[in-house]
Amino acid sequence: MFKNIFGKLSRDIGIDLGTKNTLVYVKDKGIVINEPSVVAVNSKTDQILAVGEEARRMVGKTPSHIVAVRPLVNGVISDFEVTERMLRHFIEKVHNDGLSFLSRPRVVIGIPLGVTEVERKAVEDATLHAGAREVYLIEEPMASAIGARLPIQEASGTMIVDMGGGTTEIAVISLGGIVSWRSLRIAGNELDQNIIQYAREHFNILLGERTAEDLKIKIGGVTEDTEPLETTMRGRDLLSGLPKEVVITTAHLRDAMHRSINLIIENIKSTIESTPPELVADIYSRGIAITGGGALLRGLADAIQRETHIPVHVIDDPLTSVVRGTGIVLDDLDNLRNVLVLSTNESSFIK
């Protein structure tokens, strides 16, 4: 009876709980939240000061007693309590009509490939403690493929590469299941670190993570025929300790990111090599779909195509494919239960 009451007062939601950004889909409304996965906490009072974009603006700029925390590392919860509070904030934000204290939504949430049972349980428990009444888990590449409307239920091979902030997920899907896959802890954050290290070694400049990410987005490129761009890079001179400004180009960033990009491409090739030949034939005719924030990196699709000799295309709106997939699952839960990951909690067993 209580479940029925909570169900009428709640809006079922899908969540892409990403290392960099959290997106929330509400049934019948679409994507309503797209904010950084950052929480600002006052360490003296244990009070949450800001969540999302407001907290992101504080990163690297707070006094010692205020800590801007990213509670997920490489797609996995590293701070359970902060993640729970962040999720609670987003769930309450969805139910901001005065009845948030009665809201107990069903939640479909994306998780990386290959996470352990302990890590899956951490996601479930954090979501349940944040106010969900039922939690359903789905692997992120599967959610991305569903969000991109790829034919995952057919007896044919579909290959997707989801390059997010913390992980790059490579998967071959057929008949609603994942046939072969790789999950790498090399993705957007690692590329940012590559740029920070390059600036330190070649220009004696110390950069912040936000600055490195902005440079990657603004002028980053993967292949030599990527349009050459340049911009000003500002940071702290490691020798004098004073501010320093230099001009940096697309070629510099390509050199900085070269090793990480090559590792991703090598793992894509390894995944194809471990895929049954009949499915490889399907992939060759359909191509490889790339999604996630990394899909927007200039020249990435061309670089993968050049090395694999398989057509590569970036899906529409790659940043939101996972959360769109969770939304489609929510809308057709009965027919798509087979793509969900078995729950570790009795309260959310798939019946």
The Cα 321–Cα 319 span in angstroms is 6
Most confident of 99-108, 221-230, 335-344: 221-230
pLDDT of residue 101: 52
188-256 has the same fold as 150-186+266-318? no
The architecture (CATH level 2) of 188-256 comes to Alpha-Beta Complex (3.90)
pTM (2 d.p.): 0.88
112-125 tens-digit pLDDT? 998 889 999 999 99
Query: For the chain, what is the mean pLDDT?
Result: 90
Give just the sign of the alpha carbon dihedral 61, 64, 68, 72: positive
- Per residue in 182-212, pLDDT tens? 999 999 999 999 999 999 999 999 999 889 9
* Residue spans per domain, the chain: 2-36+74-143+321-344, 150-186+266-318, 188-256
Give 346's pLDDT tier (boundaries 50, 70, 90): very low
Fold designation for 150-186+266-318: Nucleotidyltransferase; domain 5 (3.30.420)
CB neighbours of residue 303 within 10 Å: 22
Instruction: Identify the CATH number of the domain defined by range 2-36+74-143+321-344.
Output: 3.30.420.40
pLDDT of residue 241: 94
Work out the pLDDT band at 344, boundaries 50, 70, 90: low
pLDDT value at residue 68: 86
The radius of gyration computed from the CA coordinates of the chain, to the nearest angstrom, equals 21
Q: pLDDT by residue (tens digit) across 2-32?
A: 455 444 456 799 999 999 999 999 988 899 9
Q: Which of 167, 202, 183 is nearest to 75 (CA)?
A: 167
Tell me what pLDDT residue 97 has: 54
**Among 339, 303, 280, 305, which residue's Cα sits nearest to residue 145?**
339
What does DSSP assign to residue 17?
E
Model confidence band, residue 104 (pLDDT cutoffs 50, 70, 90): confident
In three-state secondary structure terms, 272 is helix
pLDDT score, position 74: 83
Q: Which amino acid is at 10?
A: S
Distance (Å, whole) CA 185 – CA 84: 23
- In three-state secondary structure terms, 113 is coil
